[in-house]
Structure 1
């Protein structure tokens, strides 16, 4: 009798201990392959005022923590069930023990159960399988969210602009003083020499050669004799020289004036009548112009400049130097900015040709949905029974009582709601799971109508509804509602056209729902919605 009593008391104490254990420990599998994930789950039920601390670990015993999942909170009447999961792995085969972990509940430590697991080798048939070299590490482009790429591109453009400015400045390093001549004859002689160095007529550019040649002569006459030579016709210019020679008492032979007139008329024929002089004629015309300029310079009466005149001339020369420097600086800036703009335009045209105008425009304007689509996505489980879904951003827990009408909340025993964005933003998604107080036979079509009424209460109008059956990749059947609506902004009363998709699933007394809403015609948002819906996996109630 005593022995039986001891056994009874032992079993009773074990049962009481098991019922009062504050932390439950479980694992999804006790046997796995090398490198595969063991999912360790810790559950505890506490009051709303309790504080629970789960440790941040890199290793749990001999196993490496590859992921520490977010804590999932489930409200049960006046208590909260906290669920914490760790992803563990091991890269050596063998049998291992996951040791106890210390959990703090209201600063009091509690230990989890230890669990034995086995890591098995992966069999590789080297006779049948080909062997390949290890591939290089490939970086993943996280897309539009990498702001540093745009900063780098901006710095690169600035660098190109600075380089072009410096390069042009270096090419302009000829002393400005050499381009500012003290006398008109000095300037004319220098320009004639430079003209010969260009070898224009030898390259077939006869018209350009005569244009520069006559401009040099006209400029000299205008500066030295002070008659409007640049704006005058050939006849007016010749008459102006004859008049000026009389007034200024210049000694000019008829031959000098005739030679100048002959070259000017030859230039007119070349420029306007497409005349083509012979090589020796071009050489003679150049020599005539040079001789005319020297003759005119010698014929002008010389005046001995006073000290005051020299000071004024030097001041004028310095002023011309400053003006020339300013012009060259402005020219460098213009060339640098023009080069950067040309590079931007060329790059833009290249990307338009390869990727299309819309993609380039959306990148430049930083379209929000393009950034979401190309950014780093997150795969998480939400609600109870859980909805495993991949989204561009982590969904945040929302207060369902602030969203749903009171009459709807009166029927619900438990509801968990998660969302990203809002109906007025570029992209809006909600994930919710509900359990009802009383047994009901859910009609998904009527549930869809109720969901649309909630959307209508939040500003949706002119809702067009279509529906069809939907099946997840795991074969779970549900209902899909989709269509368009008009969203009214309650602040400024503006409206926007939106496209929506709603997925509904029922199991036992529970409802699982996914709602996606975005601007109609946004191809990036369409791609986001497609990827989200293709990722949906559902947990069964009780799992």
Structure 2
């Protein structure tokens, strides 16, 4: 009897050990097969316009293919970050059944205080099935570009008093009289010219004025840093002045994001035109604020795209004007009710 009890005890103990191992090993095996993605940044904090590295890492099964977002995905995917370029995808083996893929993006941001990094989608394909896994969202602090000794710069020391010679007062009086006389003469000339002919810039149609400014840019070849910045400043100013005069958007005092948001509130402007305008303005922002240096051929391509966007906006405005005239004519032709 005792030998039988010892036999059952031996069998039961080994059975419990086997069941325990199966129970403990089942969950890690499933967890190990699940894909994991994360986003890493190369700096704890950045400055406005500073370039840094965003790295996406995906751990997946060896039989799956990974697809990371493209560099041209825009703000809809990257949020407050602007992707400048993307590196090659690197793959390493973590085990016989697991692979780890990573890709690095060179990015920058123009956000204030903090830059929002949204959930970045990573697609995993196996056969005919595709799974989308998102990275956890995070925030990158954006620090002020004002140095730590800014307080000393804001509070200059008092000026040292010193006596002024008498001839200085006489020279100051002569300069003041000359300035007043020159100002009066200039005002008189301006009034005379204004009475003779209306201002050519104001009388010219907004579309014609903007097109003329863009055509003048065709003769320029921006090959240096300062030349490229001046080129893109003039290009965006032509578009923004047109938006103010023709569309009624306060584009001269708004950021690119605010201009895009204002246009999206106008149902007559097509989404495709808004996206093309946003791409032109964002490319100009990279040159003006992030020290990007496109080639002359790239700048010519952006100039052609700006003219195409201007043509599309003007076509929309003319259709809207024609519809307004037709509605007004229909109202005038309607006989009054008895």
TM-score, normalising length: structure 2 = 0.36
Higher relative contact order (Cα pairs below 8 Å, separated by 6+ residues)? 2
Greater C-alpha radius of gyration: 1
- Normalized per residue, the structure richer in helix is 2
- Normalized per residue, the structure richer in strand is 1
